[in-house]
Amino acid sequence: MFPTWRITSAISTIRRGPLQAALDLASWIAVLGLPAALIGLVVTAGSPSAATEPIVGLLLLVAPVLIAVWLWVWRVSQLAGKGFDALQDIETSRLILRRPEPKDAPSLEATMDDAMLSGSGWTERDGSALIKAIGRSHPTPGLFVIEVRSSTTVIGGATVHRTGDKTSCSIGWWIGPEHRRAGYASEAVSALVNAIHDAGYPSVYIGTKESNLAVLRICDKIGATEMDRRPQPLPDGSTVPGIWYVHERVVTGST
């Protein structure tokens, strides 16, 4: 099936930062154009005939541009894949969960320590791809930065993903090392779960390692219930015991 969502994502990137998008595209074309030019020269030198000229022309001009544009589209849309973008900013008593802006990239990067990567099942590459995407205004649907309202300090992030059915989403989150153990995750997650329910999704899934006691505690505090235990694959190829929770919207019937 034609990936129209990738094209939509790329168009949105161009709208958000036309200059940055043009520079990105130009660098992709330059990177691919040079080897293509070398191949063209080799082909021409090897069989200098009129018959090879159109092929050389194609290699030199059209193909690298098309490939570069497609690779750029692929890259900017990569993070957008399953992100859930139907939520507005969320405010709690101390925090705001909002869409990232390019200026957030350095402060969000500072929240990504080893514990964050391992707790979220991310590689360093995943983390730096996300930071680059934010810095370049690429769309990152489903990603929120968590900011302290009083100081406007970015202290962490949260992700919301579609699960494939129309009644549920899955979430993940982290808080930077300097701000842990202050109740921020509990506050942010509780509000995020409610916002997802308010958006019409009765079930919110949370998956973590069995050893992540903070997440188990947060799930308990917000009233999520254990759903499943199964091995959780990690980016390095290993697996750890994983645990899945679901938070269901409680519907109180009127009497």
Ligand X SMILES: CC(C)(COP(=O)(O)OP(=O)(O)OC[C@H]1O[C@@H](n2cnc3c(N)ncnc32)[C@H](O)[C@@H]1OP(=O)(O)O)[C@@H](O)C(=O)NCCC(=O)NCCS
Q: Toward ligand X, which CB reaches closer, 18 or 231?
A: 231
CB of 65 to ligand X, least distance (A): 41
Instruction: Name the residue among 25, 54, 26 with its Cα closest to residue 40.
Output: 54
Site residues (CB under 6 A) for ligand X? Answer: 115-116, 119-120, 172-175, 180-186, 208, 212-215, 217-218, 221
Q: Toward ligand X, which CB reaches closer, 115 or 227?
A: 115
CB of 97 to ligand X, least distance (A): 13
**Which residue do the tokens 């009765």 mark?**
202
CB of 88 to ligand X, least distance (A): 22
CB of 108 to ligand X, least distance (A): 13
Q: Toward ligand X, which CB reaches closer, 53 or 124?
A: 124
Q: Where are the alpha helices (DSSP H) in the chain?
A: 4-16, 18-46, 53-57, 63-78, 105-109, 114-120, 124-135, 184-198, 213-222
Q: Toward ligand X, which CB reaches closer, 12 or 186?
A: 186
CB of 156 to ligand X, least distance (A): 6
The count of residues in the chain is: 255
Phi, psi of 59 (to 5 degrees): -60, -40
Q: Toward ligand X, which CB reaches closer, 13 or 140?
A: 140
> Any residues with CB less than 8 A from the CB of 130 and at least 6 apart, and which?
79, 140, 143
> Which residue of the chain is nearest ligand X when measured via CB?
119
Instruction: Name the residue among 135, 133, 46 with its Cα closest to residue 81.
Output: 133
